């Protein structure tokens, strides 16, 4: 991820942004050569398929976009949690197409990274109170999302290894 504005506060933010910028391409590469049937196969009852994981990543990125912007605009704001299982049902993740979910994930992620690359150092310290995690800054959330990506990439890798 290039930093055109030169505002990234420190290398820690750069690392989180780099990891996030690589996630979509990594997932895209892992999907190559796998059938729709393989991408919809659940590894175990009650566990998400690869397609469902990607749909979740897109929805979570949407929530994250809102959270970043709220913390920057109104530092100290409340950040609601969301029921990921309900969102999966409402979004019909099980009938989603992996390629379409990946496009949505890519577009929202790119918008978030563009915004983050332009933040002033003080904006990285904007914070909110997450309903489940407590006080969290923009910086904390960026790091959390990089870890979230790694977790789901590892899940996808394990599922596809069995395909």
**pLDDT of 47-98, one tens digit each?**
999 999 999 999 999 999 999 999 999 999 999 999 999 999 999 999 999 9
Identify which has the larger pLDDT, 163 or 151.
Answer: 151
Decide if pLDDT at 112 tops 80.
yes
pLDDT above 50: residue 109: yes
pLDDT at residue 3 tops 50: no
Start-end of H helices in 41-130: 50-73, 84-90, 98-117
Q: Whole-angstrom Cα distance, residue 139 to residue 123?
A: 9
Task: Say if residues 1 and 128 touch (Cβ distance below 8 Å).
Answer: no
User: Global pTM?
Assistant: 0.92
Mean pLDDT of all residues in 119-123? 95
d(Cα 74, Cα 148) in Å, to the nearest integer?
25
- Mean pLDDT (whole number) for 34-52: 97
Confidence of residue 163 (pLDDT cuts 50, 70, 90): confident
Fold of domain 11-161: 1.20.120
Nearest-angstrom CA–CA distance, 99 and 143: 26
Instruction: Taking residues 35-52, report their average pLDDT.
Output: 97
pLDDT of residue 12: 75
The confidence score (pLDDT) of residue 86 equals 98
pLDDT at 29 over 90: yes
Residue 2 is predicted with a pLDDT of: 39
Closest CA to 97 of 42, 30, 49, 33: 49
Does 9 have pLDDT greater than 80? no
User: Which of 77, 59, 84 lies closest to 130, judged by CA?
Assistant: 77
Q: How far is the CA of 99 from the CAs of 55, 62, 102, 114, in angstroms?
A: 10, 17, 5, 22
């Amino acid at each position: 991820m290039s930093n055109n504005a030169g505002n990234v506060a420190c290398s820690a933010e750069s690392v989180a942004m780099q990891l996030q910028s690589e996630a979509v391409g990594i997932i895209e590469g892992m999907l190559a050569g796998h059938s729709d049937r393989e991408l919809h196969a659940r590894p175990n009852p009650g566990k998400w398929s690869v397609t469902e994981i990607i749909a979740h990543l897109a929805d979570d990125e949407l929530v994250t976009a809102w959270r970043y912007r709220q913390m920057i605009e109104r530092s100290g704001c409340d950040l609601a949690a969301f029921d990921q299982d309900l969102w999966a049902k409402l979004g019909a993740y099980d009938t989603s197409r992996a390629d379409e979910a990946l496009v949505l994930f890519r577009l929202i992620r790119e918008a978030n990274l563009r915004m983050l690359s332009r933040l002033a150092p003080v904006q990285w310290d904007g914070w909110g109170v997450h309903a489940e995690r407590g006080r969290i800054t923009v910086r904390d959330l960026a790091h959390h999302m990089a870890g979230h990506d790694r977790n789901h990439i590892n899940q996808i890798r394990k599922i596809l290894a069995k395909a």
